[in-house]
Amino acid sequence: MLTCRDVTRLVSESLDRELPPLLRFRLRLHLVLCLFCRRFERQMLALRALAREVAAGEADGPGLPEAAKERIRGRLRGEQAQP
């Protein structure tokens, strides 16, 4: 039986690549039995979906004020100019 620690690692891995069938089955079995790991998986899936929305520019929200963006740009330019 997989431990919760194993499952958190595997849930993260499964977001990046397809797991082998037996390992995927063992992961699913643990998730059926463990509320905490199911909750972790839901959170990871939600985080991935949100990250994709942000990357695609589709995320709702006010965003940064233009003045804050300019301060960040200025700081980044200053850091790049330093050796």
> Per-residue pLDDT tens for 73-82?
888 988 765 5
pLDDT at 54: 78
Q: C-alpha dihedral over 25, 29, 37, 3, to 10 degrees? A: -90
pLDDT at 77: 86
User: At 15, is the pLDDT very low, low, confident or very high (cuts 50, 70, 90)?
Assistant: very high
Q: Which domain holds residue 66?
A: 4-81
User: What's the start-to-end Cα distance of the chain, in Å?
Assistant: 53
Is the predicted pLDDT of residue 39 greater than 90, yes or no?
yes
Number of domains in the chain: 1
- Check: CB of residue 15 under 8 Å from CB of residue 44: yes
Give the pTM: 0.67
Phi, psi of 36 (to 5 degrees): -65, -40
Is the predicted pLDDT of residue 49 greater than 80, yes or no?
yes
d(CA 21, CA 25): 6
